[in-house]
């Protein structure tokens, strides 16, 4: 293997591995919702609020983490983020109030995962990977989050049975520390790289202002809001959905695992597809498939195999929106402020995530069913499929894009 190819795979392994650990831990937290409720007696709505705040804070963190990474370097941001995820996850079992859970789940763990999240990781990948390989590379990195979910969800479920939910959560916290070496591999920043190869890139404030005046960027962010609603609801409440179908915790663990496994397929396939078809059309297709799949699930009998098939279909579409969304941001504005501008889109995603996680618990506590959340999800999916169609995918002409060219 040549030195260049080795360096390429080292970057992919570092970025995908970091995303696998941080996202894998976050996406298994739904398994702990019921034990937390039993241990604290706070009620499903209160605990869902902590999870929902985590969704929001994960999004709020990313633009700022991206701006810092663009200036001082990716490595320091990733190192700090991994430590915070581990700390917040380890301390969660010791919290017995809603405020305490919001602090450890919603601020420490979620904030750390935001610092070591897609905005920073995708930016680093695009900076370090050749232009012709970026589409597939972002798909591989995105698939890392799903790989983590596929591996850690059944591991967490097994550990919960073997050593209890407290021990299981703390084992996950220790595993996150395996991401620390990636900080050295992914060090460096996008602004220096862009400035070294062309005209001076836009400053952060100027780049944000330009993006917020761009209708295509705003429509992209609106669609990603819907993705956040859908993803956060499933990640937080899929175990509850499985339980409401009268199925055991093992079915819930495998449902989460299949969600992650098939998202690996969807993410890599989408990374391949973005180099061949219009990214806005791919996004419209993904959202349309989601809405149809939810409708069919509501009409189908709620057996174990049906739940697993539904989880697999949802997995194919789960985070496959990330490569084309990141690709469109880079196509519009170039890589110089990529972490910041994609971080803002991720913020929109997580505002939707807050609503999805919070509404799931609130609606179920009020009605004893998740049906109304599914109805909202279908309507939002149709809206997202439509809102991407007017996006102008042709490259725009900001000064920073000229630098990237």
Range of the domain at 193: 9-404
The answer to whether position 3 is within a domain reads no
pLDDT value, residue 401: 40
Are 206 and 399 within 8 A, CB to CB?
Answer: no
Provide the pLDDT confidence category of residue 189 given band limits of 50, 70 and 90. Answer: low
Q: Which residue has the higher pLDDT, 281 or 66?
A: 281
The answer to whether position 360 is within a domain reads yes
Nearest residue to 287 (alpha-carbon basis) of 335, 241, 237, 230: 230
pTM score of the predicted model: 0.70
pLDDT (mean) for 188-198: 52
CA pair distance 28, 181, nearest whole angstrom: 23
The answer to whether position 4 is within a domain reads no
Are 113 and 58 within 8 A, CB to CB?
Answer: yes
Range with the largest mean pLDDT of 53-57, 139-143, 389-393: 389-393
pLDDT value, residue 403: 40
Q: Which residue has the higher pLDDT, 56 or 242?
A: 242
pLDDT value, residue 400: 39
pLDDT higher than threshold 50 for residue 371: yes
The maximal CA–CA distance of the chain, rounded, in angstroms, is: 61
Nearest residue to 343 (alpha-carbon basis) of 118, 134, 108, 85: 118
pLDDT value, residue 335: 67
pLDDT higher than threshold 90 for residue 340: no
pLDDT value, residue 321: 86
pLDDT higher than threshold 80 for residue 146: no
For residue 345, the tally of other CB atoms under 10 A from its CB is 28
The answer to whether position 395 is within a domain reads yes
pLDDT higher than threshold 80 for residue 235: no
Q: Which residue has the higher pLDDT, 264 or 102?
A: 102
Are 107 and 160 within 8 A, CB to CB?
Answer: no
Provide the pLDDT confidence category of residue 211 given band limits of 50, 70 and 90. Answer: confident
CA pair distance 289, 399, nearest whole angstrom: 37
CA pair distance 179, 384, nearest whole angstrom: 34
**Helices marked H in 116-214 — which ranges?**
118-128, 134-176, 182-185, 190-197, 204-212
Which residue reads 């570092």 in tokens? Answer: 14
pLDDT value, residue 136: 72
pLDDT value, residue 91: 93
The answer to whether position 163 is within a domain reads yes
pLDDT higher than threshold 90 for residue 135: no
Q: Of 47-51, 101-105, 203-207, 392-396, where does mean pLDDT reach its minimum?
A: 392-396
CATH code assigned at 365? 1.20.1250.20
pLDDT higher than threshold 70 for residue 396: no
Question: Residue 225 to residues 59, 128, 212, 298: CA-CA distances in angstroms?
Answer: 11, 28, 15, 23
CA pair distance 356, 235, nearest whole angstrom: 10
pLDDT value, residue 3: 65
CA pair distance 64, 71, nearest whole angstrom: 11
The mean pLDDT of the chain is 82
Q: Which residues contact 120 (CB under 8 A, 6 or more apart)?
A: 62, 65, 66, 69, 74, 77, 78, 81, 339, 343
pLDDT value, residue 204: 67
CA neighbours within 13 Å on the CB side: how many for 381?
Answer: 24
Nearest residue to 47 (alpha-carbon basis) of 350, 359, 361: 361
pLDDT higher than threshold 90 for residue 398: no
The answer to whether position 2 is within a domain reads no
pLDDT value, residue 190: 54
pLDDT value, residue 271: 77
CA pair distance 295, 185, nearest whole angstrom: 44
pLDDT (mean) for 133-150: 75
The answer to whether position 105 is within a domain reads yes
The answer to whether position 254 is within a domain reads yes
* Tally of structural domains, the chain: 1
Provide the pLDDT confidence category of residue 402 given band limits of 50, 70 and 90. Answer: very low
Range with the largest mean pLDDT of 222-226, 264-268, 299-303, 343-347: 222-226
pLDDT digits (tens, 9 = 90+) for 276-328: 788 899 999 999 999 999 999 999 888 888 989 998 998 888 878 888 888 88
């Amino acid at each position: 293997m040549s030195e260049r190819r080795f360096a390429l795979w080292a970057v992919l392994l570092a970025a995908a591995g970091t995303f696998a650990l941080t996202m894998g831990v976050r996406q298994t937290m739904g398994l702990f919702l019921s034990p937390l409720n039993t241990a604290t007696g706070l009620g499903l709505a209160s605990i869902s609020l902590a999870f929902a705040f985590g969704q929001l804070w994960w999004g709020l963190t990313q633009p700022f983490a991206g701006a810092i990474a663009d200036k001082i370097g990716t490595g320091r941001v990733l190192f700090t983020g991994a430590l915070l995820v581990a700390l917040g996850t380890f301390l969660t079992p010791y919290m017995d109030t809603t405020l305490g859970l919001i602090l450890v789940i919603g601020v420490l763990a979620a904030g750390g995962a935001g610092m070591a999240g897609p905005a920073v990781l995708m930016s680093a990948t695009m900076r370090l990977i050749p232009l012709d390989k970026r589409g597939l590379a972002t798909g591989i990195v995105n698939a890392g989050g799903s790989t983590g979910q596929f591996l850690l969800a059944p591991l967490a479920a097994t550990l919960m049975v073997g050593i209890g939910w407290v021990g299981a959560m703390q084992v996950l916290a220790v595993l996150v520390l395996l991401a620390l070496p990636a900080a050295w591999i992914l060090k460096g920043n996008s602004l220096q790289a862009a400035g070294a190869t062309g005209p001076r890139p836009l400053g952060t404030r100027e780049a944000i202002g330009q993006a917020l005046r761009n209708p295509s960027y705003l429509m992209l962010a609106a669609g990603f809001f819907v993705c956040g609603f859908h993803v956060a609801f499933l990640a937080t409440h899929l175990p509850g959905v499985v339980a409401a179908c009268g199925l055991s915790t093992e079915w819930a663990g495998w449902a989460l695992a299949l969600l992650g496994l098939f998202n690996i397929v969807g993410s890599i396939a989408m990374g391949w597809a973005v180099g061949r078809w219009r990214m806005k059309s791919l996004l419209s297709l993904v959202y349309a498939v989601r809405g149809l799949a939810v409708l069919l699930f509501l009409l189908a009998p709620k057996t174990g195999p049906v739940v697993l098939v539904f989880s697999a279909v949802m997995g194919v579409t789960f985070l496959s929106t990330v490569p084309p969304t990141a690709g469109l941001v880079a196509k519009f504005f170039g890589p110089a402020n990529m972490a910041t501008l994609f971080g803002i889109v991720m913020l929109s995603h997580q505002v939707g995530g807050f609503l999805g996680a919070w509404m799931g618990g609130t609606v179920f506590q009020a009605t004893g069913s998740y049906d109304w959340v599914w109805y909202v999800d279908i309507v939002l999916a149709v809206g997202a499929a439509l809102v991407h169609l007017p996006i102008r995918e042709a490259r725009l002409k900001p000064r920073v894009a000229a630098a990237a060219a």
